[in-house]
Structure 1
Amino acid sequence: MTNKYLKYMLLTLPLGVMVSLSSCSTIQEILGGDGTENAGEAGKSGKQGKGKKHSRRDVLPQDRQQFIIDKAAKTYTPDELGRGIIKGDWAIEQVGNTSTENCEEMPYLKFDITLHRVYGNNGCNYISGDYEYAPADSTIRFTNFLSTMRECPEVGITDAEINAALDAVCRYSWELRDDSRYYLYLENEHRQVLLTLMHQNFDFLNGTWLVKAIDDQAVNIPDLRFVIDVAENKIHGNTGCNTLNGKLVSEMDAPNSISFQALTITDRVCPDMEFENDLIVALEDAATAKPISADKVLLINNHGTVVLELERVKDQ
């Protein structure tokens, strides 16, 4: 593809198509047609994705959890961070020194270490591509990026700014804060930080939890407990009467941001069901998990109100 043809595409394609021209990362293919059907064949110059076909699913993840194939990718350890491993879900918190909080949608990147694929959102459009990195010299590069073609507002941090930042990334560094928040800094060739990413570590939620309070009301029901499995993204427990099942979903918009979804319970009728409905409402209302200690966690709603106080049930 000639530079002249690339220049023509830049001038004629709708806003939202990602085209990379820098020395750090070069696009291999873009969406064909109006962006609603299959994408074209990936270019043949990149090592990753050579000869692959990219489908709309590659670009438009309706559920970002579907791309985590290796369960181990859902957890991240300080050891892996220290060895420079890049995997899992990362929220894009800053572009340069500017916060992304005013983006239309929260931008994020999801790294699939097994397939060497990266998926995400640039604040407006869904993007996907390949990535290669080398911990030995802290280098990283993105190739074969595709993007949806939604028209985006030009307010706050724009999708074009995030695209340009990703295009210029050549190096990376990392940092661990508060023993639970991992930060990844994507840098240009001069080691200037272009993107600041945060990874959520929810390992502190793993285990069996006894409900001690709902909406600040003390609870003393030994059977009112549930198990959270972070790797499986599941919650399973007992309401004091019925069996509870649901999904744990980690969100990108704030540290320790979560939600419990698809909650279902059995339909038994018991003499004492005082807290069952309150528990379900509190779980659905929870937006943040805050560890107070190794054995105590608070679930907090979007208004900063504690909706559930949990105490770890230790192995007997």
Structure 2
Amino acid sequence: MKKNGIVFSILILITSCNSKESKTVMNTLLQSDWQLEKINGELLSDSMQIPMLQIDLAKMQLSGNTGCNSYTGSISELGEKDIVLENIATTLKMCVEGNYEDQYVNLMNQVKIYEVNDSSLTFKNSAEKVILEFKKYSGTKKNMRIHDIWSAVRVEGNPINRMVTVPRIEFNTTDMKFYGNDGCNEYFGTISKLSEEKITLGNVGSTRKMCPEMEFPQRYINALKNIDNYKFTDDNILVFFNKDEEEVLAFMKVD
């Protein structure tokens, strides 16, 4: 009897360990960068900035962009299916263009259940209704050639007059952000989509300093908002084009 009791205890321990191990494997699938695909079952519009979500299981934290502001939060509870997100806070930037921020943040605060696999993440509310659907971000963010600091050489195909302050831009593909100077003001924003050829920038925010010459900085910002795809020339110039394949901006790498 004693021997059988020992065997039974060992079986319980093995079962417990296997259960814990499978749960850990399932949870690790959450550790990724996710791009929102649907809200309440409806596909998002490509004309608006798409919210992003990054989950860090080591810190039990989440972060991302709402389509307007950056946000952070914490994971207070996490099981094989249950999840509780708390303390979701956003920056307070005012965004002129339409976005999903209010709806997205409201639904993130309702998340109670999740389903995850190698390519998708689904959040449900307490009534088990699907409210948010994400797909794994597939952009090769790290070690991309565009990840660098660049100085403008052409705007709308025209060489820059060296009498003006030359605009610059820095692309941080790890954090999916960009920032720079338009020749007068500092500007910043998020990268919504990125591949080796295509790029979509989110809303552009900036400081509001007035300079003696404002026409050129405004032309630069307008051109920046129109970029759709890019390529590198043989002489290492980074050239951006609009959807009609017209050149809008060109940059050279800052050494």
TM-score for the superposition, normalised by structure 1: 0.39
TM-score, scaled relative to structure 2: 0.47
Larger Rg computed on CA atoms? 2
